Amino acid sequence: MKLYSYFRSSAAYRVRIALNIKGIAYETAPVHLVKDGGHNKRPEFRAINPQMRVPVLVTPTGDTLIQSLAIIEYLDEMHPEPPLLPKEPLARAKARGLAELIACDIHPLNNIGPLRYLKNTMGHDQSTIDAWYHHWVIAGFEALEAMIEPRPYVCGKDVTLADICLVPQVYNARRLKVPLDKFPKIVAADAACLALPAFEKARPENQPDAE
């Protein structure tokens, strides 16, 4: 498999974790989202993904898949062990709900596209942009903190899709200096995950395109 990735992309980070958990070998194709205005905007990448975003996974059949949650569920269906979602329907829905809280509510508001728009189109200074970022991360983490009880992972004794979404979001929060003192359960779940080789290997600083 080939994964079009950027070392700091939260969405690509999620897919790297899932691939590692499943023990699937893959080739990394770096796409720098910042340099030269973003290599994702080049025609050759736009031909691969018209949305001009990473991750993109090229399957063994040559098909291309976009959107991290869809890619991860594909991997889970094609390589069912170890499972990334509980088998029991209620537990499965809860894990999906927490994953989507992060991937659909927190992450889109602090992704590179909206942040660039705030700066380049709306003309906001960096301190205003940082305040925007902190506000939405904290609001999402307050809800998440109230709903999880690490045992030791977000949804209990097994890693799920919720953990795969949590760790990249916490990484970004730390990088952009969001205070995490109010979120001990989130910090504990993150620490439990990072003790696992699959998560450690997926860390941004361990990627071939890390700067």
The residue with tokens 């097994």 is 158
pLDDT beyond 90 at 8: yes
pLDDT beyond 90 at 181: yes
In this prediction, residue 211 carries a pLDDT of 85
pLDDT beyond 90 at 110: no
In this prediction, residue 112 carries a pLDDT of 86
Separation between Cα atoms, residue 29 and residue 26, nearest integer Å? 10
Residue 3: strand pairing partners: 28, 57
In this prediction, residue 155 carries a pLDDT of 96
In this prediction, residue 149 carries a pLDDT of 85
DSSP string, 43-57: HHHHTT-TT--S-EE
Packing angle, helices 161-175 and 89-100, rounded to 10: 20
The answer to whether 65 and 12 are in contact (CB under 8 A) is no
Give mean pLDDT, residues 151-169: 97
In this prediction, residue 132 carries a pLDDT of 92
Give mean pLDDT, residues 128-147: 96
Q: What is the pLDDT of residues 65-80, one digit of tens each?
A: 999 999 999 999 999 9
Kindly list the structural domains of the chain, giving each domain's residue range(s) and its CATH number in brackets, ordered by start: 2-82 (3.40.30.10), 89-198 (1.20.1050.10)
Q: What is the pLDDT of residues 16-62, one digit of tens each?
A: 999 999 999 999 999 999 999 999 999 999 999 999 999 999 999 99
Separation between Cα atoms, residue 48 and residue 81, nearest integer Å? 29
